[in-house]
Amino acid sequence: MNHYETVFILNPVLSETQVKETVSKFEDYLTSKGAEIVAKEDWGLKKLAYEIQHKKSGFYHLLQFQAPADILIGFETEFRRDERIMRFLTVALDKHAISWAERRREKLKAKAN
């Protein structure tokens, strides 16, 4: 299984429950296809560097997961079909990026405590 990281931006006009439903939809898709979610982060409402679909902000979310490569096509197709998603990017993580992400999560946990 390969390690992946997906960042996606949700439409800012969505309610909090709609945002949670959308995020859980993609988490459920991954787990139903045999992927393991390593970490997830809600970065909240952020200002965009440039307008997307005439919007100046969006809800950012990050998912890190382990999955077989063959489920990515279907996963990204689900992002394209969902009108609540403004942008998304999925990248494969190498061993250096995986260790960096682990250190980053540990720092965030230590900072929260």
Q: Are 6 and 90 in contact (CB under 8 A)?
A: yes
Q: What is the pLDDT, as a whole number, of residue 110?
A: 84
For the chain, domains (ranges, CATH) are 2-112 (3.30.70.60)
Q: How far apart are CA 85 and CA 92, in angstroms?
A: 20
Q: Three-state SS string across 39-52, please?
A: EEEEEEEEEEEEEE
Q: Cα separation of 108 and 96, whole Å?
A: 18
The pLDDT tens digits of the residues spanning 34-68 come to 999 999 999 999 999 999 999 999 999 999 999 99
What would the pLDDT profile of 6-34 be if each residue is shown by its tens digit?
Answer: 999 999 999 999 999 999 999 999 999 99
